[in-house]
Amino acid sequence: MTQMMHQSDQLIQATVSDELLYTPSIDSHPTVAVRDGIVTLTGDVASVPERITAERAAGRVWGVKAVIDQMVVRSAGASGASDADLARSATAMLDLTVDVPTNAVQVEVRDRTITLTGVVTWHFQRQAAARALSHSRGINGVTNKLTLNENANVSIVKDGVEAAIRRNTPLDASAITVDVHGHTVRLGGCVRSSAERRQADRIAWAAAGVTGVQNDLIIAS
């Protein structure tokens, strides 16, 4: 069994490496290590978007159960830009981002890492804020500490989440359970890949009133 698992990890490692090389927006060459289906990426990358792309590329490979990101952005890339300069630029960029509520997000920059705080209504708004800034030249990373407004007048509809999962391929809705506790959705059961696990997670976050998702889905080996 151990030998078979080792061979499987070797195959996943080779396949992830091929996927990273195949993806045109990844110019760096992260080191890939695999143990029990869990991929660890290490090494230097040129930018935050490249780091995000590499993590997603590894996660969509069949057989990958999880991805641990230990990559480091090797170059700030914006000569002469101070943390204060980056903060002003980030704030201006958020003001221009249509799916981020005006004046809802506060920006702090320290050692070229942007931290976002504040309260928004939807998870997609939280994602939009981080995505808008992740392509900023000169940063080392974005830490997203935005929270969601827990609206007491909005109740999560369990049937709605289950129906959304049924509508999405290639998810097997019969293998996924949905439980609702207050404003948190819990996903249980099995999926066939880490990509399916992320897809189910995105569907749960899209439900009105959700402020948290507990993803306990297991990737069937």
Which pLDDT score, from 0 to 100, does residue 3 have?
55
- For 1-59, write each residue's pLDDT tens digit: 555 555 699 999 999 999 999 999 999 999 999 999 999 999 999 899 999 999 999 99
| pLDDT tens profile 148-164 | 998 888 888 999 999 99
Q: How far is residue 35's CA from residue 29's CA, in Å, rounded to a whole number?
A: 19
Q: How many whole angstroms from its chain centre is CA 156?
A: 23
**How much is the average pLDDT of 58-80?**
83
What pLDDT is attached to residue 152?
80
Tell how strand 176-181 and strand 184-191 pair up. Answer: antiparallel
**158-219 CATH pick, 3.30.1340.30, 3.40.50.170, 3.40.50.300, 3.30.70.270:** 3.30.1340.30
State if pTM tops 0.85: no
* Domain boundaries defined on the chain: 2-73, 83-148, 158-219
Q: Who contacts 151 (Cβ-Cβ below 8 Å, separation ≥6)? A: 121, 209
> What pLDDT does residue 122 have?
95
Same fold? 83-148, 158-219: yes
How many C-alpha atoms does 156 have within 13 Å on its Cβ side? 25
Helix axes 158-167, 194-205, angle to 10 degrees: 140
Question: Which CATH number is associated with domain 83-148?
Answer: 3.30.1340.30
Structure confidence by residue, pLDDT tens digits, 186-208: 999 999 998 899 999 999 999 99
- Is a pLDDT exceeding 90 seen at residue 137? no
CATH class of 2-73: alpha beta
